[in-house]
Amino acid sequence: MYKFSSSVILCFFLTTTLTAMADDWPQWRGPARNGVATSSPVLASSWPVGGPACIWKSDLIPSDKVGGFGSPAISGGKVYLYVNWKTKTPIPQRRFKEQSLKQMGWIPEAIPDDLRAAVETARISEERLKLKDNPEELNAWLETWVKKHVAEADQPILGRWATDRLRRGATAYPFAMLDALATIRDREFNTPEELDSWFNEQKFSKEWKDKTLYWIPTTNDTSCDTVVCLDASNGSLLWKYEVPGRASDWGSSSTPCIADGRCFVAGDSKVFCLDANTGKLLWSEKTEAQEIAASFIVLDGLAILPAKSLTAFDAQTGAVRWTQQAVDGTKASPVLWQHEGKKYLICQGEKLLSCVEPAAGAVVWSTPNITKVTPAIIGDDLVTFGNESKTGLRAYALSTSGATLRWTVSLADRSACPLIDRGYVYAVGGMPKIKLVCVSMSAGELQWEQPFGNSEYSSPLLADGKILAVKDNGKTLSMVQALPEKYQELAKFNLPITRFTSPALSQGRVVLRLNEALACYELTTPPVPPIQAIP
């Protein structure tokens, strides 16, 4: 016969409790903001054919253009998510906005006839056609063409227009259609039938009519800045906070930061601090920034966020303690760097990587670096990832006097964060062909690379020596062994994951934002409880 020992059970309970406290994912990119689970149980090295076990799936939570692209955070047995929750009400009116016309390639400025003709010949030329699958060569060709055909003084407007039209190539709208559409910009048609009648008069083909209708709203969109809190054990809704927001195509995609019993999150034009247990609003402040993708970091009584200018709010009251205009942007989140017993923030702005003293916001140093990606830091090693094709992946050695560039690797991506693990860097990116790469931290030597589907904007995480990454534009969750010797995919599973979002991990369970819900999956092998034999 066998029975559980009470002392063993108590030990098991305490261990589990302590693990739960240490193994949260309370903010963007996890406990240390570098995508690494600092404490994780052993994860299963393979998944069943049907994928890992689904522990729960929440009620409806919209995503993408009707719900946003925020990623979940996990803390204290709860899951938190910011939702840019939109409601669409059908309307009979049809209005073609000037902004939509501009997005289709129209500009209000007069275009010289010779430039029009040159662009029209070049955009459908054999030379342009050959470059359609090679963005680097296309960019170089565009730059050369514009310099040759557009006077330097005209390049800010006409040069940008020519570049855009040449990039569109054969898919660019015909001039005659753009000119016709310009006559009805911002005009309101009372019914869809009135608009159809206008299209019939212009004799647009069905293909071009359908393309144009895409840009004309058929609903009146309203939006709420919404934060939901779910029970991490079963996915049930514990509370929901919402306040009217600003309707936009993309909205904010901030990840909540949970600290000191509070939930800090950036909405579309306001920032909020909520009671993490009840959802009660503790304070809110309006910002100049909109569509914020960055997330708060809470440090020594300050809640700090890049909202055009790097801004520190009093974590208790919301009062602005300082702003730092030299550190700009709304995309990359600040990261804590500790050196010789002191705390610093490493912040990626629009064009500069900066070190900031957090108490007063003073800039310690800055170095040129163009990306929208949150950097990864372990010790004094920093890796950042940008969209400069020849030097996109970069490693720096940090000191209080500056960041020393150690190496660069020719790989580019617009917004996926890298990982650092045991002396190696793992990064997902590359345009147009996505790949997962492993690079040595010491010398920047490429260890291996592997085609990896489409994983733009979705940042991988690492736990128990395994990399979890979303690829195929949100259709696949992949698990890869973090090995410098070779690429080894352990498992993959098809899921409707919201594009651009990143996983969150706690206690061996991963929470994913699916297209219409949050869902939790078990990644560990079911444990065998300790037992003791009776003599």
**How does 255-294 read in b/e, with b if 16+ C-beta sit within 10 Å?**
bbbbbeebbbbbbbbbbbbbebeebeebbebebebbbbbb
Residue 343 Ramachandran class (φ > 0 left, ψ -120 to 50 alpha, else beta): beta
Residue of 452 and 482 predicted with greater confidence: 482
How would you class 528 by CB atoms within 10 Å of its CB: exposed for 0-12, middle for 13-18, buried for 19 or more? exposed
* Nearest CA-CA partner of 418 in 380, 381, 473: 381
pLDDT at 269: 77
Rg (CA), the chain: 26
Nearest of 481, 383, 470, 467 to residue 423 by alpha carbon? 383
In sequence order, what are the beta bridge partners of 94? 189
- If you search the block for the tokens 């055909």, which residue do you land on? 149
Largest CA distance in the chain: 98
Are 297 and 317 spatial neighbours (Cβ–Cβ below 8 Å)? no
Give the pLDDT of residue 432: 65
Report field, pTM of the whole predicted structure over 0.85: no
Answer whether 109's CB lies under 8 Å from 66's CB: no
Least confident of 23-37, 179-193, 513-527: 513-527
At 472-520, the pLDDT tens digits run: 888 999 999 999 999 999 999 999 999 889 999 999 999 999 999 999 9
Residue 84 has pLDDT above 70, yes or no: yes
Q: Which residues pair with 477 in a beta bridge?
A: 470, 493
Backbone phi, then psi, for 16, in 5-degree steps?
-65, -45
Query: Between the ranges 116-125, 247-256, 386-395, where is the mean pLDDT highest?
Result: 116-125
pLDDT exceeds cutoff 50 at 142 = yes
Cis? peptide before 174, omega within 30° of 0? no
Instruction: Find the mean pLDDT for residues 146-166.
Output: 93
**pLDDT tens digits, residue range 314-354?**
999 999 999 999 999 999 999 999 999 999 999 999 899 99
Q: How far apart are CA 520 and CA 499, in angstroms?
A: 17
Question: Distance between CA 24 and CA 73 in Å, rounded?
Answer: 8
**For 328, how many CA atoms within 13 A lie in the half-sphere containing its CB?**
10
Q: Taken in order 156, 162, 165, 168, is the CA torsion positive or negative?
A: negative
pLDDT of residue 4: 31
Nearest Cα neighbor of 433 from 416, 411, 415 is 411
As to burial, measured by CB atoms within 10 angstroms (0-12 exposed, 13-18 middle, 19+ buried), residue 193 is: exposed
Would the CA dihedral through 61, 63, 68, 73 be positive or negative? positive
**Hey, is 388 helix, strand or coil?**
coil
Dihedral of CA atoms 240, 246, 250, 252 in degrees, nearest 10, equals -50
| Coil/strand/helix, residue 154 | helix
Burial environment of residue 152 by CB neighbours within 10 A (0 to 12, 13 to 18, 19 or more)? exposed
Q: How confident is the model at residue 5 (pLDDT cuts 50, 70, 90)?
A: very low
pLDDT tier, 386 (very low <50, low <70, confident <90, very high otherwise): confident
Question: Does residue 168 surpass a pLDDT of 50?
Answer: yes
Residue 367 has pLDDT above 50, yes or no: yes
Nearest C-alpha neighbor of 378 from the set 418, 326, 436, 427: 418
For 378, counting Cβ atoms within 10 Å of its Cβ (0-12 exposed, 13-18 middle, 19+ buried), the class is: middle
Q: Is the pLDDT of residue 530 over 80?
A: no
Phi, psi of 404 (to 5 degrees): -95, 120
Please tell me which residue, 283 or 66, carries the higher pLDDT value. 283
Q: Which helix (H) or strand (E) holds 477?
A: strand 476-481
Q: Are 118 and 98 in contact (CB under 8 A)?
A: no
What is d(CA 496, CA 314) in angstroms, rounded to the nearest whole number? 39
390 pLDDT higher than 90: no
pLDDT averaged over every residue in the chain: 90
Burial class (CB in 10 A: 0-12, 13-18, 19+), 524: middle
DSSP state of 201: H
Of 383 and 471, the one with more pLDDT: 383
Note whether 249 and 65 are within 8 A (CB). yes
- Distance, CA of 441 to CA of 326 (rounded, Å): 30
Helix axes 160-168, 113-123, angle to 10 degrees: 30
Edge to edge, the sheet with strand 78-90 lists: 73-75, 78-90, 219-231, 237-244
Q: What is the mean pLDDT of residues 183-210?
A: 93
Distance between CA atoms of 69 and 10, rounded to whole angstroms? 41
Task: Label the pairing between strands 262-266 and 419-421.
Answer: unpaired
pLDDT at 529: 55
Distance CA 60, CA 41 (A): 30
What's the rounded Cα separation, in Å, for the pair 153 and 501?
A: 41
